Amino acid sequence: MLGYFLLTQRLLPLLRQGAPARVVNVASELAGELDLDDVEFRRRRYRGIAAYSQSKQANRMWTWALARRLEGSGVTANAMHPGGVNTPLFRKGGGLMGLAGAAYAKAMGKTPEAGADTVVWLAASPEVEGVSGRFFIDRREVACRFRETRGEEALWTLCQGMIRAPTA
């Protein structure tokens, strides 16, 4: 999530200058468990699936906060879920969940090209020109949980603080 935040912050002047432009964030349907008071799992027991879910909720929420900041600029921001894609992601996770995820991805997962279809469509299609602050699966807009301005703004503030270099 911080990578999305920092890269986009650095690119925003160029995106605004080159408008119309688009920001497309890859999120997931497997989003949730975001605890803004414990994003680094200092109080909670770390679980890989919880960290993944938390980061994907943050991706969505941050996209909505970004879309609000970009209104009227000619730059749009949307999030999408690529679906289950047959990649090595789960094979590296280990454990029972990793094995189950790897088996599912191998048997049922999309090709990487099919998984990238909605990303490319959101980045380039005239059909979604000017559309911002939305969540898509398979080129369809889907209602999204985690839409709450106060939480989105708290996440934005947290990210700003986390990317600042510590003072010596």
- Can you give the CATH number for the domain in which 100 is found? 3.40.50.720
What is the reported pLDDT for 64? 96
Q: Where are the alpha helices (DSSP H) in 71-148?
A: 95-108, 112-115, 117-124
Q: In 3D, which of 85, 33, 41 has the Cα closest to residue 60?
A: 33
What is the reported pLDDT for 20? 98
Low-confidence residues of the chain: pLDDT under 50: 165-168
Question: How many whole angstroms separate alpha carbon 9 and alpha carbon 167?
Answer: 20
Cβ(158)–Cβ(36) below 8 Å:
yes
What is the reported pLDDT for 114? 84
**Number of domains the chain is built from:** 1
- 134 inside domain: yes
- 168 inside domain: no
pTM as predicted: 0.84
- DSSP code at position 109: P
What is the reported pLDDT for 100? 64
Cβ(63)–Cβ(78) below 8 Å:
yes
CA 3 to chain centre: 10
CB-based contacts of 108: which residues, under 8 Å, 6+ apart? 84
Catalytic residue numbers read: 52
What is the reported pLDDT for 166? 44
- 36 inside domain: yes
What is the reported pLDDT for 112? 78
Cβ(61)–Cβ(155) below 8 Å:
yes
What is the reported pLDDT for 165? 46
- 69 inside domain: yes
What domain range includes position 150? 2-163
